[in-house]
């Protein structure tokens, strides 16, 4: 996948201006897709992203809010056209042991990481069904499969994405729409780099390939899954974790 693809497909990447999302946005733009990247909090990062990538379709709205998603999607489609591909990537962490976790920490993570997948998928899947083509990719996590101390909220949301996607895949299988999940392990992002060095060193030592993954590796898999010719891969969860968790 080194050549530019002749396509008019419109792709939305939530949380698409930083980390894994930014890598996906940039690669899909490079391959010729019409990319809309959404973000919520960091205006400076979004401005820098636009300047560096040339992707002008950058939209700020809260993907955890259904009404905000309705308005955001309307703006995207007015600018680029109907949405063919959705990458649900937006996510946050609010780590805490359960006996100390506040309802706010629980609800914030479920809202951003899981409710957003419903909101964005619900508002785009009808159009995909009616046009006979669609690709929905949602980013889960190794911790949604294995669990993680201090992350009952995050693991619940990321695990929920998998069950949601399997069910939706069955619903739309006969409509030309595929639905898949990518569950990254520890990827070299700002979120992972924020981990205390001594803890991160222990994490890396437990990864069989002995290094962190790259955001580009995730983007390459997205590019494979959304390709027009990839009509037979649906309901699957792809573990990209350097062998750390095998399922």
d(CA 187, CA 193): 9
Q: List 85's β-bridge partners, or say none.
A: 11, 135
225 neighbors 190 (Cβ within 8 angstroms): no
The first and second tokens of residue 235, run together, are 């309901």
Specify whether 154 is catalytic: yes
94 neighbors 19 (Cβ within 8 angstroms): no
d(CA 54, CA 52): 6
39 neighbors 92 (Cβ within 8 angstroms): no
d(CA 47, CA 133): 32
Of the listed 39, 154, 186, 245, which one is catalytic? 154
d(CA 148, CA 155): 7
The first and second tokens of residue 217, run together, are 């590796």
d(CA 64, CA 190): 21
DSSP 15: T
115 neighbors 138 (Cβ within 8 angstroms): no
> How are strands ordered across the β-sheet holding 58-60?
58-60, 34-39, 10-13, 85-88, 134-139, 177-184, 237-240
Kindly list the catalytic residues. 154
């Amino acid at each position: 996948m080194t050549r530019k693809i002749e396509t008019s497909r419109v792709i939305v990447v939530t949380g698409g201006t930083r980390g894994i999302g930014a890598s996906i946005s940039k690669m899909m733009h490079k391959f010729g897709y019409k990319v809309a990247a959404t973000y919520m909090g960091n205006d400076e990062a979004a401005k820098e992203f636009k300047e560096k990538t040339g992707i002008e379709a950058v939209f700020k709205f809260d993907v955890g809010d259904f009404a905000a998603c309705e308005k955001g999607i309307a703006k995207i489609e007015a600018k680029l056209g109907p949405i063919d591909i959705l990458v649900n990537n937006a996510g946050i962490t609010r780590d805490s042991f359960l006996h100390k976790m506040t309802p706010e920490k629980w609800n914030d993570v479920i809202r951003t990481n899981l409710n957003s997948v419903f909101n964005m998928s619900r508002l785009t899947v009808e159009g995909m069904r009616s046009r006979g083509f669609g690709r929905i990719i949602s980013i889960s996590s190794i911790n949604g499969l294995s669990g993680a101390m201090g992350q009952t909220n995050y693991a619940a949301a990321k695990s929920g994405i998998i069950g949601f996607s399997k069910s939706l895949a069955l619903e739309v299988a006969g409509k030309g729409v595929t639905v898949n999940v990518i569950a990254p392990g520890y990827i070299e992002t700002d979120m992972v780099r924020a981990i205390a060095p001594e803890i991160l060193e222990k994490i890396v030592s437990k990864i069989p390939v002995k290094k962190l993954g790259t955001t580009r590796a995730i983007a390459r898999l997205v590019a494979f899954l959304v390709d027009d010719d990839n009509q037979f891969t649906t309901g699957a969860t792809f573990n990209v974790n350097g062998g750390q968790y095998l399922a």
